[in-house]
Structure 1
């Protein structure tokens, strides 16, 4: 009988220690603190106020709240300036930025944009125009090979990036994506979280930069058009000419 009681105590003790360990672990453990209520029950982790103040002094309230959510989930930033906080290589994202500046945005409902999530993505030229019709806060840099979304919440940026990928892959047009975004956003606010708001639904890409093609120049006419043949003295033009000849 004593052996059974001892075994039960050991098992319960192990479960208690396990639950405590699970609660305290997390991706932002270096920036968050788990606390207990007066009744001894665990409460949700929070970001220490001194950490918040260190990074967001003088920021507007919406940007401070945005910074808190990212600090809580991803820990302290890789870089910080008075106007922005930057997290780099937080998978699956290439970069996360929280801006001091808040930008009013009315799609799908009124909110303040202050969090930007960036992924590596090769932008098809023939789909770029359609993407611009989708959401003004979804942007891209074709040269660097980046696709970005800015909103007030990470889940909404994930949703926007998933729909943007559908547009770039020809699975949706901008109108369909806007309709789906509005529906999923309202559902999210009502507690019904679509898979599109939880995780990126596309595979990460590598080698996404697009250096484009050099302009073909008629070098003979270019030099004749300039008095005293000055074009040959410009080092950039000279380098471009040499590279074109080499090709």
Structure 2
């Protein structure tokens, strides 16, 4: 049993070392592998003796205490130095962490501009509106007909916008142009403006009320004059008799 446990521990150690070394083989983006090692902990089994006391009959028919040995499988944690090679990346590539074996990060000598990212050594992946090895050149969207503007196209840094000629305005989609409707001239009556119509009606009604008040005032003055003249004429009539 002890030999079996030792064989299993050795096999596990060999498999771990072999599997770790296989990832560091020289290949794409990896030009060499630097030999290094790390401390690894693993659990191994071993045979442990156990002494059990028991009573037996000795000479003279006496009871004697003695021990017998049994063996059982036990486990313990062992620390060993395990090979841990580190990949040496090819020119133009790097690794994110020193513990990684793969070289997946591209390097660009000229930094990518305007939001671009380095996707391949010396080559940037540019966002829409920019072009060039380092995304330094503005793409003229107005050069072709893919912008969709119906009249005018104005190129800007990294983008563009549509415009219209005189007498037109942009529609809701910011691409099409529609004729501008002229507004009413100052001083003219507009049927579409209900406030001006209400103001005219209020003014007319006010003029009518003022005319009625003036007419009523004149009639009241005439009635008062008539009432004041009637008593004088009735007192003079008996004298004539």
Q: Give the alignment's TM-score, normalised by structure 1.
A: 0.21
Structure (1/2) with the larger helix percentage: 1
Q: Quick check: which one's strand share is greater?
A: 2
Bigger Rg over Cα: 2
Q: TM-score, normalised by structure 2?
A: 0.22
